[in-house]
Amino acid sequence: MTGNQATSAQPDPDLVRVVRDTVAVVDAPGPDGAAVAVWHIDVGPDNGLARPCGAWLLAVDSAAPDCSGDAAGQVRALVRGRRVLATGAGAQALARLHPEIDGYLDGDATVRGVGEEIELLQRAFEQHLDETGRKFVPPAWPEVPAGLDPDAQGGRPDASHGAGGDDGTATALELGRRLADLADTWQQVERQRLARRFLRKLGGDAHRSLPVVLRG
């Protein structure tokens, strides 16, 4: 392999970032797990576009050897290399497909992490006031949305009441919306942090993506 070929074989950093910042929300709405709903949610810095960036409902032939078939292959492709936020049923469906994922997102731990980061930044702000004796406009921290446990009681909406229609995508849609809301909340935190130069040492000079926590 020549030097030019070796260079061209390197992954595109923009593509790596896009994959990294796109979480796959997965549910299996049917009783047998044959239908798999996947929503892609962008949790990266605000780029002016909608955070939901793709939705699929695929009928997987679970009776086929190794769950082969076009739909199974498409599900694998949709989650490949990504962090996944899955319901219990969604995780079971994926387990049968053996996809190559970056890990399963811990929804509640991710929410707690956002709250803890706000507390850290607030303490740093107050410490700066004490050290300098100067007055600054206090940060207007946003309220952190509720948890992201996909299987919490009441977390599975009634599809007949307009939350995604009656095609079985309601739970994945609602979970995706909650994740998108959390990503938007995080960007509000980042705007407050970056507006104060002395807080930029805690995270750098650029907007950070939502810091998701993966299950251990």
- Give residue-wise pLDDT tens across range 141-186: 999 998 898 887 544 554 443 444 557 789 999 999 999 999 999 9
pLDDT-based confidence at residue 19 (cuts at 50, 70, 90):
confident
Would you give the DSSP letter of residue 31? T
Q: Convert the pLDDT of each residue in 73-120 to its tens digit.
A: 999 999 999 999 999 999 999 999 999 999 999 999 999 999 999 999
Q: Which helix (H) or strand (E) holds 117?
A: helix 107-132
Domain boundaries, the chain: 3-199
Give me the residues paired with residue 35 across strands. 59
Determine the pLDDT at residue 99.
95
**What does the pLDDT read at residue 161?**
39
Question: In 3-state terms, what secondary structure has residue 53?
Answer: strand
Average pLDDT of the chain? 88
Give the model's pLDDT for residue 142.
98
> What is the reported pLDDT for 152?
72
pLDDT for the residue 160: 40
pTM for the model stands at 0.87
Token pair for 121: 């930044």
Rounded to whole angstroms, how far apart are CA atoms 129 and 183?
29
Give me the pLDDT at residue 18, please.
84
